[in-house]
Amino acid sequence: MKKLIFWEFSRGSRPYDLVVALILAFIFLTPREFFRDQPRPKDVALLPSEPGSSHFWIEPERLHATDEAGRQREAQTLVRQQAGSRDRTLVRLETIYDSGKEVQGFLAITRP
């Protein structure tokens, strides 16, 4: 057991190859759900748009302000963080609803 923990096998020996094979099997055969490692979509995503402007999708959980001015400020901050640039100006923030009138997200339109 001590040899296994401290990896005291000589390279190219059968025990060394066996341990390497076990490690590789664990890495490639263990299902992702075992580690609860699921990809998360971005909360703020850049969408395709016409030249000269940028459209960003913002998940509703990211804008916590209740009034319009507060949402505008939060959206401006999020867009600047996502774009990695301070020169983006928020032109318009549109609320996107589903057929049941529930908020699905926000569309932020910016210009340089």
pLDDT number for residue 23: 93
- Alpha-carbon span 25 to 2, nearest angstrom: 22
- How do residues 67-87 score in pLDDT, each as one tens digit? 888 888 888 888 888 777 677
User: 55 and 94 in one domain?
Assistant: yes
State which residues form the domain around 81: 44-111
- How do residues 19-45 score in pLDDT, each as one tens digit? 899 999 999 998 877 877 666 667 787
Q: Can you read off the two tokens belonging to residue 63?
A: 């804008």
User: 50 and 26 in one domain?
Assistant: no
- How do residues 82-110 score in pLDDT, each as one tens digit? 777 677 788 889 888 988 888 888 888 88
The answer to pTM > 0.75 is: no
User: 27 and 49 in one domain?
Assistant: no
